[in-house]
Amino acid sequence: LHFAWYAPHSPLALALEHGHYRAMEVGESWHFLSPHLGHRPRHMAVFQEDNPVSLLPGLPYDRSVFHDAYFAGVQLDDGSWILCVALQRFWGLYAFQRLCLEGAMLALWIIAVSLIASRQLSRPIEHLAHGVRQIAGKPASAHLPETGPREIRLVAETINTLQAQIAKFVADRTTMLAAISHDLRTPLTRIRLRGEFIDCTEQQRLLFRDVDEMQIMIDGALSFFREDAAREESTAFDLSGLLQTIAYDYADQGHDVRYDNPGRIGYRGPIHALKRVFSNLVENAIKYATPPHITLTHEAEGALVVTIIDDGPGIPPEALDAVFEPYFRLDKSRNRQTGGVGLGLTSARTIMRAHGGDIMMQNRPEGGLCVQVFL
């Protein structure tokens, strides 16, 4: 700030006292200054940027040079004037404070622009990653949208081509294995016919047992391949009602299958395939453990979880994942007493993963097995 004093009858003092220069609105500031200036009527002039202050006689500040200056004049008791000049507008901040404020505003602007730019760049990649995850869950129906930057479109196109080739390979493999399984029925029939001519009753019994076991394996394989090839349409249904129906069906057969019915819960999916999945899990519990207890709950993320628990011996920890492999059996002798060839759990997990779900198993601390089906 610069201060200058001008005598009562100096040209500048007279110009300030009798001039008609437009002054800024001082408002509350004038009432604040009045007690300090006394009760004598005074003149006060506060000039704006567009006032021709440089034309005042004797004023040493040229507005063309000091274009950011403020000029304020106050008349004293003897008629003289004190002129206060602020050479620049600093809004009450020191240079260091202004520098910090300007730097902070610049940093915020850069951060905002960077966030927007990074979001625009990462969005196509996120869409691509989401599409790839869909392929992992639904390999037969997923297709990546070929949109976005050129590089993203090229990657999506390549993945779609690869996915189509994989789907064709899987379909060809399924068709071939189904044909082989079907063709094996003819030689098995011939073996059974020739076995009728065996004189040794014991050898004939052993032969027919092996033929029956092979027939069961072939029938199981054909059923598995048919389910893998079939594409059931999704329909809306009451999931809780489906589980209640399964529990009633086994109860009619004399098995105490318990179900905690939470009321109607709507779901959209392949109803017949899901019924085969739940029925297979319940039947396994009845065969190898105890009639299970079924619950249906909501996860925090909104997913549905069907839990099937029993009080049986459980499964060795190293076999919790292996039981989902084709033809895997914990006890090789079980197939003679309980039937089946080891494709039930394989088929169940295949169905669930094909529709975006999964099946997990874990042993309960208090004993028994806990099977969770995620929808």
SS (H, E, C) 279-299: HHHHHHHHHHCCCCEEEEEEC
What band does 371 get if pLDDT is binned at 50, 70 and 90? very high
Q: Residues 201-220: what's their mean pLDDT?
A: 79
What band does 37 get if pLDDT is binned at 50, 70 and 90? low
Instruction: Please tell me what DSSP assigns to residue 23.
Output: B
Structure tokens at 140: 């037969």
Concatenating the DSSP letter of every residue in 159-177 gives HHHHHHHHHHHHHHHHHHH
CA distances from 373 to 58, 75, 158, 176, 358 (A): 93, 90, 33, 31, 6
Q: Residues 145-173: what's their mean pLDDT?
A: 78
What band does 56 get if pLDDT is binned at 50, 70 and 90? low
Instruction: Please tell me what DSSP assigns to residue 321.
Output: T
- Write out the E strands in the chain: 2-6, 44-47, 70-75, 81-86, 235-238, 258-260, 266-269, 293-298, 304-309, 358-363, 369-374
Lowest mean pLDDT among 135-149, 180-194, 348-362: 135-149
SS3 state at 131: helix
pLDDT at 38 over 60: no
SS3 state at 145: coil
Specify whether the CB–CB gap between 52 and 4 falls below 8 A: no
61: CB partners within 8 A, 6+ apart: 53, 54, 69, 71, 85, 87
77-113 confidence digits (pLDDT tens): 777 888 777 766 555 556 677 788 888 889 999 998 8
SS3 state at 41: coil
With the CA atoms of 144, 150, 151 and 156 taken in that order, what torsion angle do they form, in degrees rounded to the nearest 10? 10
Average pLDDT, the chain: 75
Q: Residues 66-80: what's their mean pLDDT?
A: 72
Give the CB-side neighbour count of residue 268, counting CA atoms within 13 A: 3
Whole-number pLDDT of residue 358:
87
Look at domain 232-374 and name its CATH class.
alpha beta
State the pTM of this model: 0.53
Structure tokens at 18: 């009798």
Whole-number pLDDT of residue 23:
43
CA distances from 200 to 139, 193, 211 (A): 52, 15, 16
Structure tokens at 126: 């996120």
